[in-house]
């Protein structure tokens, strides 16, 4: 999964955080899915639907040829039902499952939730997907007919009508589409993350080689600590070099001959976190390096 890497700044941007207090009184701080992820998830689902329909159509046509057209009626019914169910039941069936996500949403780490924090009901899922009729299928039909047989003004009106629904999610804070609005739902990020190793965990053999003084450790705050954590986890050599040089300059550290930049950062991270967490336990959270 791609989502194990913490993207600096991306998932936790405050304007996309929504408060959800559990009955136990803990705020889960949900992250609203952004429009790009929603669109990507939909494209994956659309590809699955179209692909399945194509495969089913080919299979039915082959069966029709192989059986010399005898059970044509059954095959016709079959095709109509496959089309009907793919169009209407695909989203509903997947969102009714415990994961409340279609394969596309699951791939992007998204799920549907109820806006009021109560359990998601079948009615809500039905409502949000019935609205796809005007959000997706009407514009698609409009696209296929290419405005044949109507004058330019009606085509323009149709275009505006479709644009209102297609771009609706971009014009509200919660990225709600019309279906979400009508069903009282919201799409949030709920990706599965792997628990990565603790960077400050003892075990890096060279850590003993670094002995920072109290003033050196006190150079930074929590914000810098988190940036440092991201740098170490991404482990991009140019970035590690750059940051290591900058920290050395700031704290006045002279690098030993065999000292690696990554070891230095990792040791400094452990020392800084130890210091800041101790102060945290005494009730003092140092926000950043300017917060003395």
Partner 1 sequence: MAGPTLKSQRFRSEREADWVALDAHVRKAERAGARALSDAELLAIPVLYRGALSSLSVARATSLDHELVAYLESLCTRAYFFVYGTRTTLAHRVARFFAVDWPAAARALWRETAAAWLLMALGAVVAYALIRQDADWFYAFIPGEMAQGRDPSATTAFLHSTLYDNSAGKPLSAFATFLFTHNAQIALMAFALGFAFCIPTAFLMIFNGSMVGAMFALYAPHGLGFQLGGWLLIHGSTELYAVALAGAAGFRIGWTLAFPGPLARMDAVAAAGRQSAALMFGVVLMLSVAGMLEGLGRQLIRDDAVRYAIAGFMAVAWSAYLYWPRRPALSDG
- By CB under 8 A, is residue 77 in contact with partner 1? yes
User: Per DSSP, which regions of 70-220 are E strands?
Assistant: 110-114, 185-189
Contacts of 125 (CB under 8 A, 6+ apart): 91, 92, 95, 96, 100, 112, 183, 185
The 193-222 contact track toward partner 1, x by CB under 8 A, reads xxxx-xxxxxx-x-xx-------------x
When the beta carbons of 148 and 194 are compared against partner 1, the nearer one is 194
Q: Which residues of 234-268 are buried (b: 16+ CB within 10 A; e: fewer)?
A: eeeeeebeebbeebbeebebeeeeebebbbbbbbb
Q: Which of 80, 17, 82 is nearest to 49 (CA)?
A: 82
The tokens of 184 are what? 């009282």
Smallest gap from residue 51 Cβ to partner 1 (A)? 21
When the beta carbons of 21 and 245 are compared against partner 1, the nearer one is 21
- By CB under 8 A, is residue 22 in contact with partner 1? yes
Smallest gap from residue 43 Cβ to partner 1 (A)? 21
Among positions 32, 33, 41, 124, the unique one binding partner 1 when judged by CB under 8 A: 124
Interactions with partner 1, residue window 23-42 (CB under 8 A): 23-24, 26, 28-30
Q: Which stretch binds partner 1 (CB under 8 A): 5-13, 61-69, 147-155, 254-262?
A: 5-13
- By CB under 8 A, is residue 113 in contact with partner 1? yes
- By CB under 8 A, is residue 88 in contact with partner 1? yes
Distance between CA 155 and CA 183 in Å, rounded?
30
Q: Which stretch binds partner 1 (CB under 8 A): 34-42, 113-121, 152-160, 245-253?
A: 113-121
Rounded to the nearest 10 degrees, how much is the dihedral formed by the CA atoms of 125, 130, 135, 141? Answer: 140
- By CB under 8 A, is residue 233 in contact with partner 1? yes
Interactions with partner 1, residue window 149-168 (CB under 8 A): none
């Amino acid at each position: 999964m791609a989502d194990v890497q913490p993207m600096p700044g991306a998932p936790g941007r405050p304007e996309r955080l929504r408060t959800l207090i559990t009955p136990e009184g803990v705020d889960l701080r949900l992250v609203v899915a952004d429009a790009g992820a929603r669109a990507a998830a939909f494209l994956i689902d659309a590809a699955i639907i179209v692909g399945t329909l194509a495969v089913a159509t080919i299979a039915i046509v082959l069966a029709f040829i192989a059986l010399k057209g005898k059970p044509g009626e059954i095959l016709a019914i079959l095709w109509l039902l496959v089309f009907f169910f793919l169009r209407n039941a695909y989203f509903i069936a997947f969102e009714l499952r415990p994961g409340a996500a279609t394969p596309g949403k699951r791939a992007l780490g998204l799920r549907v939730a109820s806006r009021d924090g109560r359990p998601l009901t079948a009615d809500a899922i039905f409502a949000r997907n019935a609205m796809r009729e005007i959000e997706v299928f009407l514009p698609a039909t409009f696209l296929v007919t290419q405005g044949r047989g109507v004058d330019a003004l009606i085509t323009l009106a149709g275009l505006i009508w479709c644009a209102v629904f297609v771009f609706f999610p971009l014009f509200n804070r919660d990225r709600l589409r019309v279906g979400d609005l009508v069903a009282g739902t919201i799409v949030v990020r709920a990706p599965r993350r792997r628990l990565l190793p603790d960077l400050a965990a003892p075990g890096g053999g060279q850590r003993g080689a670094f002995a920072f003084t109290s003033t050196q450790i006190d150079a930074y705050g929590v914000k810098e600590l988190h940036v440092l954590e991201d740098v170490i986890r991404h482990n991009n050599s140019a970035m590690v070099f750059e940051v290591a040089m900058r920290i050395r300059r700031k704290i006045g550290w002279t690098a030993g001959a065999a000292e690696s930049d990554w070891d230095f950062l990792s040791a400094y991270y452990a020392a800084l976190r130890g210091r800041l967490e101790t102060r945290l336990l005494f009730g003092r959270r140092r926000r950043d390096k300017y917060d003395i």
